[in-house]
Amino acid sequence: MLRLLIGLFLASLISLQSASWQEPLRVSIEFVDLPKKIIRFPAHDLKVGEFGFVVTKLSDYEIVNAEVVIIAVENGVATAKFRAFESMKQSHLPTPRMVAKKGDLVYFRQFNNQAFLIAPNDELYEQIKATNTDINFISSDLLVTFLNGFDPKIANLRKACNVYSVGVIYIVTTNTLNILSCESFEILEKRELDTSGITKTSTPFFSRVEGIDAGTLGKLFSGSQSKNYFAYYDALVKKEKRKEVRIEKKEGKIDARENKREIKQEAIKEPKKANQGVENAPTLEEKNYQKAEQKLDAKEERRHLRDEKKKAKATKKAMEFEEREKEYQERDDRETEERRKALGMDKGDEKVKPKSLKETKELNQELVKEPSNENNATQQGEKENQENKDTPVSKENNAKKEEPKLSPKEEKRRLKEEKKKAKAEQRAREFEQRAKEHQERDEKELEERRKALEMNKK
């Protein structure tokens, strides 16, 4: 009992000393390298692996445009990598196009007062909760149900943290309590914890939920490796630690390259200033920011040109539509005029045709009444028949001879006019027929309505 009390007292002292990473912090960006997506700002008490997000202040509101992870802390200056803000990714919300710039604020430890606790049994679970009263531990039952019977992986734990707004994860490994950042999964703190007396562990960790089965396929793919609690979680934390070492080496190389590049650029700038007398040359940060702004301006310009082209096409189509309407109107007017003329010509032809028919009948009767000789009956009959046949042809030939001969062009024009007249007559007839049909239909509808009204009255 005394040992347990001493352990609780020491753990509480450690938690009080190391509570700095739990307090929210806000810092201002002092340097931005847009091509490499690196920012620098005062370190304060920040540690490698801590996660935050960049906030840009606009006229009436603030917008989160990026999330950052600290990759190095040197001489009171923290270096962080930034990327698009995906912690609250939502396809139905607009994606901000802003980028991090000098003067923007970076918020850290906003959710570090909430944590998940992964422990092998109920005793350690309750012991850690009792010694960390300033942390709001989210029930492990929620985390187990979220995993749905699968082994905890880094990606799944990050998703759970985003769903439940959790900032850190407490993981018990062999004789160690590891405190990790949810987003970066970097180790923020390690505390000694005696686990030698633990003989029985829960799978995948302690919770009050039982009976969750991932199914045959789930067991096949997940492997149920978390049955061996300490072996599984030791490997999980070490894997992340090896990754952290690789990242540190990579970032060290990047920093060395950046320093060399900056020295070269400064060496190039100095002779230019001496020769040209330039006093206020833009810095590397300002140049990078200007490049990013130019890219955004170019995109907006392209969008503006596209909109103008669309408007021009729409106006052109509207003008063409109006011109076509005018042409159709003019054509309809011409057709109606031609129909009227054609109807007038038809009336004149009807008056002349009866006379010509009477004349032809009288001529035929006279030819029949003429006497014929007995000897040359056949010959005279043939001659008379030929004469009777030739009489209309001779008349037509005489009429043609009397008419003046037309030139080929005039003949073509005359034929075209005749065709147009024929078409106009046909259209006029069709128009009259349609008018009659419409009138008949209207009369039928009126009759039906009258009948219906009479039936309703009855």
Phi, psi of 254 (to 5 degrees): -65, -45
Q: Is the dihedral of CA 448, 450, 453, 454 positive or negative?
A: negative
Beta partners for residue 320, in sequence order: none
| E strand or H helix that includes residue 79 | strand 77-83
Question: Is 262 a member of any domain?
Answer: no
How far is 50 from 188, CA to CA, in rounded Å?
7
Q: How many residues does the chain have?
A: 458
Domain boundary residue, one of 218, 248, 278: 248
Domain boundary residue, one of 108, 135, 150: 108
User: How many structural domains does the chain have?
Assistant: 3
Question: Is 202 a member of any domain?
Answer: yes
Average pLDDT over residues 3-28: 58
Question: Is 30 a member of any domain?
Answer: yes
As to burial, measured by CB atoms within 10 angstroms (0-12 exposed, 13-18 middle, 19+ buried), residue 401 is exposed
Evaluate if residue 191 carries a pLDDT over 80: yes
DSSP letter string over 222-286? Answer: HTTGGGSHHHHHHHHHHHHHHHHHHHHHHHHHHHHHHHHHHHHHHHHHHHHHHHH--SSPPPHHH
Residue 25 sits in a domain whose CATH number is 2.40.30.20
DSSP letter string over 332-353? Answer: HHHHHHHHHHHHHHHHHHHHHH
Question: Is 376 a member of any domain?
Answer: no
* Helical ranges in 72-186 per DSSP H: 122-131, 140-147, 154-164
Question: Is 120 a member of any domain?
Answer: yes
Average pLDDT over residues 122-145: 92
Question: Is 278 a member of any domain?
Answer: no
Same domain (yes/no): 173, 147: yes
Give per-residue pLDDT as tens, 406-438: 677 788 888 888 888 888 888 888 888 888 888
Same domain (yes/no): 39, 141: no
Question: Is 182 a member of any domain?
Answer: yes
Of 74, 164, 160, 156, residue with least CA distance to 111: 164
Same domain (yes/no): 150, 229: yes
Same domain (yes/no): 53, 90: yes
Domain boundary residue, one of 362, 381, 410: 362
How would you list the strands of the sheet with 176-181, edge to edge? Answer: 136-138, 114-118, 168-173, 176-181, 187-192
How far is 64 from 104, CA to CA, in rounded Å?
10
pLDDT of residue 84: 84
pLDDT of residue 30: 93
Give the domain range for residue 157. Answer: 114-248
CA 394 distance to own-chain centroid: 85
Same domain (yes/no): 121, 241: yes
Of 187, 134, 142, 188, residue with least CA distance to 161: 142
**Over pLDDT 70: what percentage of the chain?**
67
**Over pLDDT 90: what percentage of the chain?**
22
How far is 247 from 250, CA to CA, in rounded Å?
5
Same domain (yes/no): 238, 300: no
0.85 cut: is pTM over it?
no
Question: Is 82 a member of any domain?
Answer: yes
Same domain (yes/no): 129, 244: yes
Same domain (yes/no): 170, 72: no
Residue 170 sits in a domain whose CATH number is 3.40.50
Same domain (yes/no): 118, 188: yes
Of 152, 32, 55, residue with least CA distance to 104: 55
Same domain (yes/no): 149, 60: no
Same domain (yes/no): 122, 235: yes
Give per-residue pLDDT as tens, 40-72: 999 988 988 899 999 988 888 888 889 999 999
Same domain (yes/no): 51, 176: no
Evaluate if residue 277 carries a pLDDT over 70: no
